[in-house]
Structure 1
Amino acid sequence: MKIIFKKYPIFFLSFVFVLKVYSQDLEPRRWANMPLGLNAIGVGYAFTSGDVFFDPLLGAEDVTYKSNAFVASYIRPFNLWNKLARIDVQIPFVTAKWDGLLSGVPTSVERTGFADPRIRFSLNLTGPPPGSVQELKEYRSNNPVFTTFGVSLAITLPFGEYFNDKLINLGANRFVIRPQAGFVHYWGPWSFELTGSLLLYTVNNDFFNGQEQKRDPMFAFQTHLIRQFAKRYWASLSVGYNQGASSVVNNQFNDDQRANFLTAASIGASFSGNQGVKLAYIFSDTQNDIGSTTNTLLLTWSILFK
């Protein structure tokens, strides 16, 4: 794709991976209620491959992208003002490779290291009150139809691998502040979720040899239709869309706004009383001439403990 470029041209390249990891996620059961007194830890693996499209004037052509990402996560629910709250932490480690033609010359770039971690605080404003496993079961039994509204604030921390002399990085060297609001409506074994997000970016004051990079906000939404089968199995179909995040480098505006349409299918199962696995396929398709179209296969495992 592009290795060491001329001075400016491809301002947005370092943003490609960050967008894939955090702004284009499709996460079913986002507002699900967890019993108090439990913790959840998990590990996940995601393989992503696809095509990356650049402005033809930049000379980068036929660019393909492949990555292997490993994510460790931790969730802790707690009682806040008699509402169910929780803290989520995600730490990703990634190995990625870009291949393509730069001015007609075959070129490749590889990166391996930690990407930016994320911490998220959530609060369910309605729905089941905070309670034990048995209390939540009783609530579901007595209320086969109900709706949960929630809000959250996620912050991506600039701790990932970053080199200011490279245009492609796993970290972004800036904070990403992401307020969310959403709801999930339950009726019997079915549930429907809708979540909207606004992504706000702080300034990267050390972008590519000391330049200043700013980004406009990005808007995103995701929705999920979920079916619970018996007690152990569930499946979901998901759709998402995001748009925005044009960049400004040294007060020069770049026409690199992102717009992506996403679809996904997931299946999950629980076993041993406190463990679960999920398999998901995610397709992301750029709606602009500049962007990326990718396929992701995701496998996760989690365990609950006191």
Structure 2
Amino acid sequence: MRSSTLRLLALLAGFVAGSPACAQDIEPRAYSNAPVGVNFLIAGYAYTVGAVPFDSSLPIRNAAMRTSNAVLAYARVLDLAGMSAKFDAILPYSWLSGHAELLGQPIERIVDGLADPRFRLSVNLHGAPALSLREFSEYQQDLIVGVSLQVSAPAGQYDPTRVVNLGSNRWSFKPEVGVSKVFGRWTLESQAAVTVFTDNRDFYGGNRRQQAPIYSLQGHAIYNFPAGIWASLDATYFTGGRTTLDGVEASDLQRNWRLGATLALPVDLHNSVKIYASRGVASRTGNDYDLIGIAWQYRWGGGL
């Protein structure tokens, strides 16, 4: 029973991402199993410095922006036709300040408010059946294959007279497929996704801004320590996202690499803490930023 409890702690710790960014997310353990009916409440804080993390394709250069981000999230594990699934919602509130160049001219921005909320449904198609807490005590992960769809809604702060905002004034949709495989104490994961965008019809003075899809790959090497602690080394690459403004295509095709690390520390069966950081290591358009964050997670229900 003790081993199953430790395994449950390891799987539940850091079950939901708390990052304020979107296109450049790095999220280990996005596809894992947990007992049906378990709820998660997450409160976190993330700090970024560099480019604007909410929209990596803004037409600005030499950005020196700083953001502080409070993140509140909720998730629930579901039984979807016998497969384990998860619904989560993330609501960020951000403070942004800094300067950049727009068409060679200096600009400054100080603003706070809601960033765009995100909603996601993920389903484990193979290797992670829907289980009760009692059934989960006998579960051993091998290979998990899952899919998800994340939707970002245009509900964040947006001023069409400014080029830098916390909200994007458009919808985005991110379908993804993920694979997770256990090798002893190690878990190797990979995710592939594409993010598509609707048009922003009121961009910076009434312009119509379109953006091509962004294609992304993630990889994670996770080591499971005793007592339910785990740590991961993370990497992501994304490309695409060329923008068009009133029919004129920009030279802003993205090819970016980010590296990161995550540490999850269970406190008890109901509480855990996750610390994470990532850094842009290469970009074609100079839109890198550094991020560090911490999240507290409380979980209940499902027999816990």
Could you say which TM-score interval applies, normalised by the shorter chain? 0.7 to 0.9
Kindly state the Cα deviation for residue 285 of structure 1 after the two structures are TM-superposed.
Answer: 3.0
5+ residue gaps, structure 1, are 1-18, 53-57
SS in structure 1 of the partner of residue 287 of structure 2: strand
Q: Give the root-mean-square deviation of aligned CA atoms.
A: 2.0
Structure 2 residue 48 is matched with structure 1 residue 48: yes
Q: 1:51 to 1:121 in 2, by over 3 A?
A: closer
User: What is the rounded CA distance, in whole Å, between the counterparts of 2:76 and 2:233 in structure 1?
Assistant: 26
Q: Within 5 Å, give how 1:176-215 maps onto structure 2.
A: 176-215=172-211
Instruction: Confirm whether residue 292 of structure 1 aligns to residue 287 of structure 2.
Output: yes
2:38 aligned with 1:38, yes or no? yes
Distance in 1, matches of 2:103 and 2:154, equals 32
Say whether the 8 Å CA contact 1:232–1:271 is kept in structure 2.
no
Q: Secondary structure at the match of 1:134?
A: helix
- 2:231 is aligned, of 231, 235, 238, to 235
* Corresponding position of 1:280: 276
Match of 2:156 in 1: 160
Cα gap change, 1:32 to 1:206, in 2 (>3 Å): same
Letter in 2 for 1:99: H
Give me the whole-angstrom Cα distance separating, in 2, the residues matched to 1:124 and 1:148: 7
Give SS of 2:73's match: strand
Alpha-carbon contact 2:62-2:286 (below 8 Å) kept: no
> Matched residues in 2 for 1:214 and 1:243: separation?
16
Q: Secondary structure at the match of 2:75?
A: strand
Structure 2: state its 5+ residue gaps: 1-18, 53-58
Structure 1 partner of 2:96: 96
Q: Which runs of 4+ in 1 moved over 4 A?
A: 100-107
Q: What does 1:1-306 correspond to in 2, within 5 Å?
A: 21-50=21-50, 62-100=62-100, 107-140=107-140, 146-288=142-284, 290-306=285-301
Contact persistence 1:285–1:292 (CA under 8 A): no
Q: Kindly tell me: are residues 36 and 250 of structure 1, through their superposed partners in 2, closer, same or farther at Cα, counting changes over 3 Å?
A: same
Q: Provide Cα deviations, 1:224-254, integer angstroms capped at 9, x if missing partner.
A: 0101111321100011100111111111111
* Cα separation, partners in 2 of 1:268 and 1:252, compared to 1, 3 Å: same
User: Residue 285 of structure 1 contacts residue 294 of structure 1 at CA under 8 Å; is this kept in 2?
Assistant: no
Percent of matched pairs sharing the same residue:
29
1:275–1:253: structure 2 CA closer, same or farther, 3 Å change rule?
same
Judged with a 3 Å threshold, the aligned counterparts in structure 2 of structure 1 residues 212 and 298 are, in CA distance, closer, same or farther, namely: same
Q: Normalised by the size of structure 1, how large is the TM-score?
A: 0.85
For the residues of structure 1 that align with 2:105 and 2:245, how far apart are their CA atoms? 27
The letter of the residue matching 1:302 is Q
SS in 2 for 1:260: strand
What letter corresponds to residue 157 of structure 1 in structure 2?
Answer: A
Alpha-carbon separation, structure 1, partners of 2:98 and 2:281: 18
